[in-house]
C-alpha cells in the first residue's frame, strides 16, 4: 500500500529540483520557442512549461535520464496515472497537448532522436456550456457601472469603460489590458486587437461603449505617470491595468446583482457571443469578432442559445 502511494506521489520537491537543474536550459529554450516563434502568451507558456516539468519529473521518477528516453508507453502511463488520481479530463487533454508540442519541437531541433507522441491519444475535453448573463442582467450590470462612475473617481470611470468594451466587443481580458490608446478609433467605433498567436483583428463596438471610453479618456490624464506609456487602461498608480484588476471590478459589480451568476471578464465574452447569436448574427461573423481559429469553437454558443431556448420553452409552454 505504501509503495503504491509512493508511485502515485511522483511530483516531489527533490525530483522537481533535479529536473530543473538538469533540464533548465532545455525548458528555457522551449519557452523562447513558444514566445518568439509561436506567439504564445505568458499565461499559456507557464501552463505548457508546468506540464512539461510534470512530464520530466515523472520520467525522472521512472529512472529515465531525459526526454530522449521517453517512449509512447511512458507517455500513456503518465496520462493513465493522472486519470487514476482523479485529474480532470480537460487537464489530461491539455497535458497531452503540451507533451506533443514539446516533443515535436525537441525532435525538430535535434534534441531527441524521434518524437514518441505521434500516436498519443488523450481523452477529449468535456464540452461544458459557458456561464452567461441574461440580456437584462447585462444591461443592469452596465447601468450599475454607469451610476458608480458618476462619483468622479477615475477608476470607476475606467471600470465602466472596461465593462462596456468587454461586453460590446467580446474581446478577451488579456487582449483588453494589452490595448493602447491608438488602438481605439472612436470615430469608426472599432478597436484593433492583438489576439492569440499574435494575430491582429479589428472588432466593432457600439455607441454606449464609445461614450464610456470617451468619458474615460477625459479623466485618464489624472492617473498618468511618467512610466504610464500608451496603455489605454491604467491602474490607480498609473501603470497599465492588469487582468487581476479587471476581474476584481467585474466580480465587485456583479455582487450587487444577487440573481446574476458570478462571472469574470470571460463571462462577459461568453455573454456577448450568445446575445449576438440570439439577435441573429451570423456564426462566421461572431467567429471573426471573437478571434476563434476554428468555427467549432464558436459553435458552442449556439448550444448555449438552444439550451436557454429549451429551458424557456419548458417553463412557459403548457404542453412542454
Q: What is the model's pLDDT at position 308?
A: 61
Q: What is the model's pLDDT at position 1?
A: 41
Indicate which residues carry an active-site annotation: 172, 196, 266, 269, 292, 301
Nearest-angstrom CA–CA distance, 121 and 98: 12
Q: What is the model's pLDDT at position 20?
A: 75
Q: pLDDT, tens digit, for every residue of 254-292?
A: 988 888 888 889 889 989 988 988 888 878 888 888 888
pLDDT at 9 over 70: no
Q: What is the model's pLDDT at position 115?
A: 94
pLDDT at 4 over 60: no
Give CA separation, 165 vs 101, 180, 187, 194, 265, in Å: 34, 14, 15, 15, 11
Give CA separation, 285 vs 122, 264, 276, in Å: 31, 24, 10
- Which position has the grid cell 492588469? 242
Average pLDDT over residues 48-71: 90
pTM of the model: 0.63
pLDDT at 218 over 50: yes
Contact call for residues 292 and 193 (beta carbons, < 8 A): no
Provide DSSP, 170-224: ---HHHHHT-BGGGEETTTTEEEEE-GGG-EEEEE--HHHHHHHHHHHHHGGGT-
Average pLDDT across the chain, whole number:
86
Q: pLDDT, tens digit, for every residue of 78-115?
A: 998 888 888 888 888 889 999 999 999 999 999 999 99
Query: Cα 203–35–264 angle (5° rounding)?
Result: 50
Best CA proximity match to 122, nearest among 85, 84, 79: 79
Best CA proximity match to 93, nearest among 83, 84, 102: 83
For a pLDDT cut of 90, what percent of the chain falls above it?
51
pLDDT at 204 over 70: yes
In degrees and rounded to multiples of 5, residue 110 shows phi and psi of 80, 15
Q: What is the model's pLDDT at position 296?
A: 75
Residue that wins the pLDDT comparison between 8 and 235:
235
Give CA separation, 297 vs 43, 73, 93, 302, in Å: 20, 31, 16, 10
Residue ranges in the chain assigned as alpha helix (H): 2-8, 13-32, 42-61, 72-84, 89-108, 135-149, 154-169, 173-177, 207-219, 243-254, 265-278, 283-290, 295-298, 300-316
In degrees and rounded to multiples of 5, residue 229 shows phi and psi of 65, -160
Amino acid at each position: 500500500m505504501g509503495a503504491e502511494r509512493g508511485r502515485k506521489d511522483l511530483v516531489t520537491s527533490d525530483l522537481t529540483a533535479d529536473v530543473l537543474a538538469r533540464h533548465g536550459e532545455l525548458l528555457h529554450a522551449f519557452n523562447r520557442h513558444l514566445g518568439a516563434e509561436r506567439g504564445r502568451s505568458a499565461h499559456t507558456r507557464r501552463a505548457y512549461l508546468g506540464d512539461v516539468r510534470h512530464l520530466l519529473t515523472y520520467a525522472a521518477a521512472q529512472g529515465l535520464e531525459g526526454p530522449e528516453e521517453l517512449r509512447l508507453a511512458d507517455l500513456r502511463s503518465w496520462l493513465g496515472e493522472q486519470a487514476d488520481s482523479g485529474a480532470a479530463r480537460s487537464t489530461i487533454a491539455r497535458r497531452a497537448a503540451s507533451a506533443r508540442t514539446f516533443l515535436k519541437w525537441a525532435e525538430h531541433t535535434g534534441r531527441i532522436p524521434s518524437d514518441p507522441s505521434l500516436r498519443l491519444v488523450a481523452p477529449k475535453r468535456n464540452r461544458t456550456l459557458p456561464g452567461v448573463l441574461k440580456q437584462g442582467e447585462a444591461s443592469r450590470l452596465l447601468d450599475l457601472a454607469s451610476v458608480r462612475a458618476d462619483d468622479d473617481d477615475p477608476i470607476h470611470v475606467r471600470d465602466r469603460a472596461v465593462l462596456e468594451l468587454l461586453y460590446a466587443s467580446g474581446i478577451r481580458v488579456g487582449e483588453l489590458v494589452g490595448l493602447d490608446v491608438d488602438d481605439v478609433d472612436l470615430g469608426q467605433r472599432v478597436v484593433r486587437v492583438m489576439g492569440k498567436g499574435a494575430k491582429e483583428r479589428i472588432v466593432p463596438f457600439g455607441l454606449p461603449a464609445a461614450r464610456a471610453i470617451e468619458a474615460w479618456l477625459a479623466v485618464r490624464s489624472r492617473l498618468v505617470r511618467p512610466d504610464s506609456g500608451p496603455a489605454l487602461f491604467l491602474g490607480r498608480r498609473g501603470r497599465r491595468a492588469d487582468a487581476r484588476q479587471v476581474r476584481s471590478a467585474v466580480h465587485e459589480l456583479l455582487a450587487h446583482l444577487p440573481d446574476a451568476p458570478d462571472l469574470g471578464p470571460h463571462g462577459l465574452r461568453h455573454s456577448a457571443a450568445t446575445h449576438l447569436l440570439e439577435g441573429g448574427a451570423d456564426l462566421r461573423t461572431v467567429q471573426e469578432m471573437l478571434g476563434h481559429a476554428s468555427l467549432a469553437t464558436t459553435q458552442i454558443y449556439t448550444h448555449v442559445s438552444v439550451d436557454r431556448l429549451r429551458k424557456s420553452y419548458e417553463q412557459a409552454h403548457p404542453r412542454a
